[in-house]
Amino acid sequence: MLAFYQRWARRMYPARAVFVVLFVLAVTAFGWLLFSATPEFAQRWQLTAVLCAVSSLLLWLWAVVFYPELPTIDNNATWLYKVKIRLQRLAYYLLAVLVTVLLLATTYLGLRVLKGIISALFFS
C-alpha cells in the first residue's frame, strides 16, 4: 500500500501548486457563496465548494507526505533503530489508511452532490 501511495505521490508532486490554487479558489467561492450569493444558489453549491477544498487538500497532503523515500531497515542496524524505523513505517501506513478513508468519504459525498446537481438541472 505504501509503495502505491509513494508511486502516485511522485506523479502528483509537480502539481502541488495546482492543488493549493484549487484550494484557495474553493475557499474563496465558499466565502462568496456564504456572504454574497442568493440562498437558493448558495444552498446548491456550498457543499461542492467544501468538497473541492477538502479534496484538493487531501491530494496535496498525499503528494507532499508520501513523496520522500520511505525509511528502510538495514541488517546491521541496532535494535533501537529497527524499532524506530518500524514505528515510522507504521505511522506512514496509518496515515495512508486515513487518507484512503477520507478520499472515499469525499468521493461518496461528491457523487451525492453530483446526483443533486444533475437532478436539479434535468429533472426539475
What tens digit of pLDDT does each residue of 26-66 get? 999 999 999 998 988 888 889 889 999 999 999 999 999 99
What pLDDT sits at residue 1?
85
What tens digit of pLDDT does each residue of 3-28 get? 899 999 999 999 999 999 999 999 99
Burial track 33-58 (b if 16+ CB lie within 10 A, e otherwise): beeeeeeeebebbbbbbbbbbbbbbb
pTM of the model: 0.84
User: How many structural domains comprise the chain?
Assistant: 1
Which residues span the domain enclosing 107? 2-122
